[in-house]
Structure 1
């Protein structure tokens, strides 16, 4: 496994892991979650626009405008918004764990829309994911545990699952569309669409310099920087290997949420988190085996 690719992908995971913990600072000062999402998208658009201008890659085909607009709505408006709402309602640690139900959603949608087979590994991963979500959301109520410092709400759980589902759409969209254009070009059009669609759902609030620094960090580090570093790492790694390394994101988010905000699960929460991350590894390893079999058959 290429060391440079591993380091770049770990850097991306670390940057994404900062989203939840950093987002809580503006929220503590009265900034609404959806306003957080708006400024994250809008400020990140500035960086992607400069990058696209430097590449001289601002044009897309007319027939691709509608898919990009739909991607902006699902991949920015709903994804960024639901993730921020989940952070606000159930905490940065659990929001990051629920985000990583995405591979299970990918397996299901690939079977539904792309005709990919649902083998034993994918079915096992789906069961593990469902069991994990039940543990982290219902475990404290079922077992009457009082060790957790995170209050769970069904709205927050739903938002976390929605963020995982819309994050999974990046894979479906990317497999059929993203290869046509450089990443900055796609986000040059998608981000402003996503930001504008968020505007009717919140009111702007006066922000301190600390809140502005956090919002800029969300855009520059957690969005523009993370995507740029991740795709640079993919040049040196297989996508499956990069996916495994990226699962460190919720681990980093949980550690920072504990250090900064004293968030912690009870034993059912940790067990459920392990099931969800384990499901990610099952799906990735299954994909790796399928790729090896394809290479073997192609050489015969």
Structure 2
């Protein structure tokens, strides 16, 4: 049972690691980062809607619906857009690593809004995250553009991805997550629509967009969800931390992106901080990217 769960989570990590790769390929075909994010939200939302319909999952209503709509604008529109902008500005490997600042943002949010105590574990993780981002900023690398823009978009992606933890604390146990995504992703697509300039698309562009929606969004979430049914959340998070490793290896092979030694150390600190926080008993684990 555990071996099966490990396989599902490992598959999810590999699929999430492909997100920046497919995004970079799609952008190379003339699509803007925000158009890539738009189609990811729209096509991925259609997959979740069909799944929720087949499962006959109840949709959120009333106040829960309103909060889900707001989550769609922040956790989908801003998150999906900023991640693709980070890929364009700095590279797929850098964007993937900076995404793992999300648990640090969760710890700070819990302290600010829920009066949760910042213990030694949380403070150590925050220091590791800050030190890791500083080393990445100073280290750079070959084929990796470390700039205020790439760091800003990458950290924005990490911040808005942290909303999945916060939103999930309440709603992922109350509703079928696929039903929630069936609402949030189309709303996120609508939020992106005013900022998208649609480009002519060759078949290869549609292939990459479809891969992002089907593999990196719907299939990756489903695989991680299957894994969580068979593994403890902490163990699942440790396995899922392979995502930036997969992204970095592929970015090296396909785009000649290579983080310098100090930047690699910084990346290790950021991922280590995420793992440290994932072991905290109060930690919530998101079920999507």
Partner of 1:277: 271
Residue segments in structure 2 that go unaligned for 5+ positions in a row: 284-289
Partner of 1:111: 111
Deviation at 1:59, TM superposition (A): 3.1
Partner of 1:198: 192
Partner of 2:36: 36
Deviation at 1:149, TM superposition (A): 2.4
* Mapped pair 1:20 → 2:20: yes
- Once superposed, what is the RMSD of the aligned Cα atoms? 1.5
Deviation at 1:90, TM superposition (A): 0.2
Partner of 1:170: 164
Tell me if the contact between 2:143 and 2:255 (Cα under 8 Å) persists in the aligned partners: no
Superposition map of 1:228-243 within 5 A: 228-243=222-237
Tell me if the contact between 2:51 and 2:178 (Cα under 8 Å) persists in the aligned partners: yes
Provide the C-alpha distance between the structure 2 equivalents of 1:254 and 1:117, rounded to a whole number of angstroms.
Answer: 34
3-state SS of paired residue (1:138): helix
Provide the C-alpha distance between the structure 2 equivalents of 1:6 and 1:59, rounded to a whole number of angstroms.
Answer: 30
Deviation at 1:216, TM superposition (A): 0.3
Deviation at 1:136, TM superposition (A): 0.7
3-state SS of paired residue (2:258): coil
Higher mean C-alpha deviation, range 27-36 or range 237-246 = 237-246
Tell me if the contact between 2:58 and 2:175 (Cα under 8 Å) persists in the aligned partners: no
3-state SS of paired residue (1:180): coil
Deviation at 1:88, TM superposition (A): 0.5
Provide the C-alpha distance between the structure 2 equivalents of 1:152 and 1:181, rounded to a whole number of angstroms.
Answer: 40
Tell me if the contact between 2:86 and 2:153 (Cα under 8 Å) persists in the aligned partners: yes
Partner of 1:153: 147
Deviation per CA, 1:123-171: give whole Å up to 9, x if none: 011011011111111234xxxxxx5221222111111001111111101
TM-score by length of 2: 0.94
Partner of 1:73: 73
Residue segments in structure 1 that go unaligned for 5+ positions in a row: 141-146, 292-300
Deviation at 1:187, TM superposition (A): 0.9
Deviation at 1:111, TM superposition (A): 1.9
Deviation at 1:58, TM superposition (A): 4.5
Deviation per CA, 1:221-259: give whole Å up to 9, x if none: 000001111111111112111111111000000001011
Superposition map of 1:43-192 within 5 A: 43-140=43-140, 148-192=142-186
Structure 1 runs (4+) deviating above 3 angstroms are none
Provide the C-alpha distance between the structure 2 equivalents of 1:85 and 1:22, rounded to a whole number of angstroms.
Answer: 13
In the alignment, which of 242, 249, 254 is matched to residue 255 of structure 1? 249
Alignment CA distance shift 1:51-1:135 (3 Å) = same
Deviation at 1:103, TM superposition (A): 1.1
Alignment CA distance shift 1:113-1:238 (3 Å) = farther
Provide the C-alpha distance between the structure 1 equivalents of 2:119 and 2:86, rounded to a whole number of angstroms.
Answer: 31
Provide the C-alpha distance between the structure 2 equivalents of 1:208 and 1:51, rounded to a whole number of angstroms.
Answer: 28
Tell me if the contact between 2:21 and 2:251 (Cα under 8 Å) persists in the aligned partners: yes
3-state SS of paired residue (1:105): helix
Provide the C-alpha distance between the structure 2 equivalents of 1:82 and 1:118, rounded to a whole number of angstroms.
Answer: 28
Deviation per CA, 1:12-48: give whole Å up to 9, x if none: 1111000001111111121000000000110111111
* Mapped pair 1:218 → 2:227: no
